[in-house]
């Protein structure tokens, strides 16, 4: 009989996508259930994933704290009965306030708790439960603000990436056309939507460029019209089922610095210009980007200096591909041990090690 594991997640793709990747690593060996809030459902394939909704409220509104306290209490009891009713034996959290009721209930049930920290800064929810967990899966043992007394709980794994990204052809740079991917997220990034158009127009006068841009649904037609009127090839979208195929056709990407996005670009051997979101909690996007910058795999631009620097970087790349090719080689070196099988074996051995030790 398969052991039962619960993965708790929710909110943004930065939490949900790693949870779904964990699900795909585990479902053949375990009976896996996922809990998410309603926001996280946008990322789910409801035909495949077994899931339950635990819609944890945000805790940032001071005036709603008394109400939200009772909601958290209610959801903790709900989570307790879910865990008991499903005979859950272990729980994995991908971080965030969304997992709070589930982890509290898991503590009451005396389950083994595992955490995932994909960022280079320890998240606040993970910090809160660090003393209660068995292990925490991390991509580096140099995580900012990580307490020294808990470093023995770190299990190093390669960044979690969807299986299809390992199959991307790591091709050479194209000479006839430069394909520039701009990842603003499904909600769009205003700085990419508004501040890049004129730069790209100038560059397109001397270089053959195709723009592939992710933006808000409401902005798709505006961007299509703008680039088409300038005779610039373009493909504008909000969500795409085969995003790995889009990345495969890319020469360079301009992106925010979420851990999942950078990991996908990295394993795909695609250099990128990272523009960390300055409002990200504890500035974790900057730390994520600097990891790749320190390995000479990307460029990093401060958002406040974006307009001053991005055009010159793009112009230098288009004039001379040497630096771009160098970064591709460095990405290849960084990922030469990163395979689906290696990650899978490390996760499974960690989750099974306590059971093995008792035999």
Phi first, then psi, for residue 237 (nearest 5°) are -150, 165
Q: What is the mean pLDDT of the chain?
A: 90
Cβ contacts of 1 within 8 Å, gap of 6 or more: none
pLDDT at 4: 95
DSSP-derived secondary structure letter, 121: B
Arithmetic mean of pLDDT, 312-338: 93
In the predicted model, what is the mean pLDDT of residues 113-122?
96
- pTM for this model (two decimals): 0.90
Same domain, 254 and 321: yes
Q: Kindly state the DSSP code that residue 54 receives in the 8-state scheme.
A: -
Same-domain pairing of 77 and 98:
yes
Number of other CB atoms surrounding residue 152 within 10 Å = 7
Q: How confident is the model at residue 356 (pLDDT cuts 50, 70, 90)?
A: very low
**pLDDT classification of 47: cutoffs 50, 70, 90:** low
How confident is the model at residue 11, as a pLDDT?
86
Of 61-65, 86-90, 295-299, least confident by mean pLDDT is 61-65
- Residue 194's φ and ψ, nearest 5 degrees, are -105, -30
Least Cα distance to 292 among 258, 331, 322, 247 occurs for: 331
Question: Counting beta carbons within 10 angstroms of the beta carbon of residue 298, is it exposed (0 to 12), middle (13 to 18) or buried (19 or more)?
Answer: buried
Domain shared by 319 and 351, yes or no: no
pLDDT in tens, 225-284: 999 999 999 999 987 878 888 998 899 999 999 999 999 999 999 999 999 998 888 889
Query: Which residue range is the domain that position 148 belongs to?
Result: 3-158+339-357
250 and 291 co-located in one domain: yes
Q: Give residue 43's pLDDT band: very low, low, confident or very high (50, 70, 90).
A: confident
92 and 223 belong to one structural domain: no
Q: To the nearest 5 percent, what fractions of the chain are helix, strand and coil?
A: 50, 15, 35
Query: Residue 359 has what pLDDT?
Result: 38
Nearest to 50 by CA among 1, 7, 109: 7
Total structural domains within the chain:
2
Q: Give the pLDDT band of residue 358 (cuts 50, 70, 90).
A: very low
3-state DSSP assignment of residue 73: helix
pLDDT digits (tens, 9 = 90+) for 154-210: 999 999 999 999 988 766 566 689 999 999 865 557 889 888 998 999 999 999 999
Q: Are residues 191 and 307 in the same domain?
A: yes
Half-sphere exposure of 350 (CA within 13 A, CB side): 28
Instruction: Annotate 165-210 with DSSP letters as a single string.
Output: GGGS--PPPPSS-EEEEEE--TT--HHHHHHSHHHHHHHHTTS-EE
Q: What is the 3-state secondary structure (H, E, C) of 282-306?
A: HHHHHHHHHHHHHCCCEEECCHHHH
C-alpha torsion angle, residues 330, 192, 10, 98 (rounded to 10): 100
pLDDT of residue 235: 96
The reported pLDDT for the residue numbered 330 is 97
What is the b/e burial string over 8-32, where b = at least 16 CB atoms within 10 angstroms of the residue's CB? Answer: bbbbbbbbbbbbbbbbbbbeeebbb
Q: Token digits for 189? A: 């990034």
- As a whole number of angstroms, the distance between CA 258 and CA 10 comes to 15
What the block records as the tokens of 261 is 């996005």
Same-domain status, 208 and 250: yes
107 and 35 in a common domain: yes
**pLDDT-above-90 percentage for the chain:** 69
pLDDT at 236: 94
Give the CATH number for residue 30: 3.40.50.2000
Q: Do residues 6 and 101 touch, judged by C-beta distance below 8 A?
A: no
pLDDT at 102 over 50: yes
Check whether 357 has a pLDDT greater than 80.
Answer: no
CA-closest candidate to residue 82, choices 36, 46, 41, 39: 36
146 and 62 fall within a common domain: yes
* Pairwise pLDDT comparison (279 vs 294), residue with the higher score: 294
119 and 189 share a domain? no
Residues 128, 261: one domain? no
173 lies in the same domain as 153: no
Give dist(CA 279, CA 313) in Å, integer: 24
Burial profile 120-130: b = 16 or more Cβ within 10 angstroms, e = fewer: bbbbebbbebb
| pLDDT (mean) for 100-118 | 96
């Amino acid at each position: 009989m398969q052991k039962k594991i619960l993965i708790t997640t929710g909110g943004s793709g930065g939490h949900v996508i790693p949870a779904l990747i964990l699900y795909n690593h585990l479902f053949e060996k375990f009976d896996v259930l996922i809990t998410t809030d309603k926001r996280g459902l946008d990322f789910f394939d409801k035909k495949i994933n077994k899931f339950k909704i635990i819609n944890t409220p945000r805790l940032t509104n001071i005036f709603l704290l008394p109400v939200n306290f009772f909601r958290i209490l209610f959801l903790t009891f709900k989570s307790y009965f879910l865990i008991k009713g499903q005979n859950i034996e272990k729980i994995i959290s991908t971080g965030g306030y969304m997992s709070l009721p589930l982890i509290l209930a898991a503590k009451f049930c005396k389950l083994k708790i595992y955490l995932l920290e994909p960022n280079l800064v320890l998240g606040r929810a993970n910090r809160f439960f660090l003393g209660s967990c068995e292990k925490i899966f991390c991509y580096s043992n140099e995580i900012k603000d990580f307490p020294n007394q808990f470093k023995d709980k770190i299990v190093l794994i390669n960044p979690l990436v969807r299986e299809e990204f390992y199959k991307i052809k790591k091709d050479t740079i194209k000479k006839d056309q430069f394909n520039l991917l701009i990842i603003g997220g499904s909600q769009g990034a205003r700085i990419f939507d508004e501040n890049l158009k004129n730069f790209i127009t100038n560059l397109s006068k001397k270089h053959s460029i195709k723009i592939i841009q992710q933006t808000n649904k409401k902005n798709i037609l505006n961007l299509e019209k703008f680039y088409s009127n300038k005779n610039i090839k373009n493909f504008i979208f909000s969500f795409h089922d085969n995003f790995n195929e889009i990345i495969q056709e890319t020469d360079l990407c301009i992106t925010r610095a979420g851990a999942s996005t950078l990991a996908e670009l990295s394993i795909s051997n695609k250099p990128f210009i990272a523009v960390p979101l300055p409002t990200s909690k504890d500035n974790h996007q900057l730390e994520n980007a600097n990891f790749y910058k320190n390995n000479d795999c990307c460029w990093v631009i401060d958002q406040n200096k974006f307009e001053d620097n991005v055009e010159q970087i793009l112009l230098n790349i288009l004039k001379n591909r040497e630096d771009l090719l160098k970064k591709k080689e460095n990405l290849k070196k960084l990922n030469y041990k990163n395979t689906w099988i290696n990650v899978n074996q490390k996760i499974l051995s960690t989750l099974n090690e306590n059971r093995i030790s008792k035999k």
